[in-house]
Amino acid sequence: MHKKLVKVFFLGLFVICTSCFEIIEEVSFNKDGSGHVTLTMNLSQSKTKLNSIMLLDSVNNYKVPSKTEIKNKIAQIIRKVKQIEGISNVQNTSNFNEYIFTVSCDFTNVEVLNMVISSFSSKKDAAIIKQQQHFSFNKSQNTFSRNYHYDLSRAFKKTNLEDRKVFETATMTTIYRFETPIASSKNPTAKISGSKKAIMLRVHAQDLIKNKNSIKNQIKLQK
């Protein structure tokens, strides 16, 4: 959730202007490894401040993007996602009243899901995601894994003090749903639902940066 990770969701320059935002990653998995993903950037708690910022040309030496520029960037990402083989039902919403932006699609397997995530990244990060496999599913062991390669502490040290305020209240939430009940989870912070078919993890950006917590997890499903 450093500057690069925020740019992963197309609003990097926007988020520089506010410290209250949430990235939400929701994935619903089918037994065969296919599923549906929704990525959300929620800045609604800062909408009053953002409305004022949108009237300016720049803030903290960052150019404030216009609504048209943001819409064009989103359209560019959507076109890129639609070109991925194994992806269908690509949709997006842009709510400039509440400042909530989403991108969603269906995928045929987790390898394709990794390609979707890499679409929001730089070429360097996209190559690492492909190598590291942020998402993986072992059918024989019935195990789903969420990995993560960003070195946030190193990147954080390179930012100035003003930019660091962006992460004071920022959070990342992951929600994964399965058709089969969850048997176990390796991340002790993750919360399994009463039905055992969903798991949620909310991590504060500061904890990610200081390596006090992680979105990494290995989820074993019942056979």
Q: What is the pLDDT of residues 84-124, one digit of tens each?
A: 999 999 999 999 999 899 999 999 999 999 888 777 666 66
Write down the mean pLDDT value for the chain: 81
Task: Say yes or no to pLDDT of 17 above 70.
Answer: no
Q: How confident is the model at residue 5 (pLDDT cuts 50, 70, 90)?
A: very low
Choose the weakest-confidence range: 56-60, 103-107, 141-145, 179-183: 56-60
Instruction: Indicate the number of domains in the chain.
Output: 1
Q: How confident is the model at residue 51 (pLDDT cuts 50, 70, 90)?
A: confident
Q: Please write down the long-range contacts of 102-105, taking CB distance under 8 Å and 24 or more positions apart.
A: 102/38, 102/39, 102/40, 102/41, 103/38, 103/39, 103/74, 103/77, 103/78, 104/36, 104/37, 104/38, 104/39, 105/36, 105/37, 105/81
Q: How confident is the model at residue 6 (pLDDT cuts 50, 70, 90)?
A: very low
Q: What is the pLDDT averaged over residues 178-195?
A: 96
103: domain range?
A: 3-221
Q: How confident is the model at residue 21 (pLDDT cuts 50, 70, 90)?
A: confident
Task: Name the residue among 71, 68, 92 with its Cα closest to residue 82.
Answer: 92
What are the tokens at 177? Answer: 């749903």
Q: Where are the alpha helices (DSSP H) in 16-109?
A: 47-53, 67-82
Q: What is the pLDDT averaged over residues 23-29?
A: 94
Task: Say yes or no to pLDDT of 183 above 50.
Answer: yes
Q: Where are the alpha helices (DSSP H) in 42-92?
A: 47-53, 67-82
Which neighbouring-strand residues pair with 220? 143, 184
What are the tokens at 58? Answer: 């720049």
Q: How confident is the model at residue 4 (pLDDT cuts 50, 70, 90)?
A: very low
Task: Say yes or no to pLDDT of 2 above 60.
Answer: no
How many other CB atoms are there within 10 angstroms of residue 102's CB atom?
A: 18
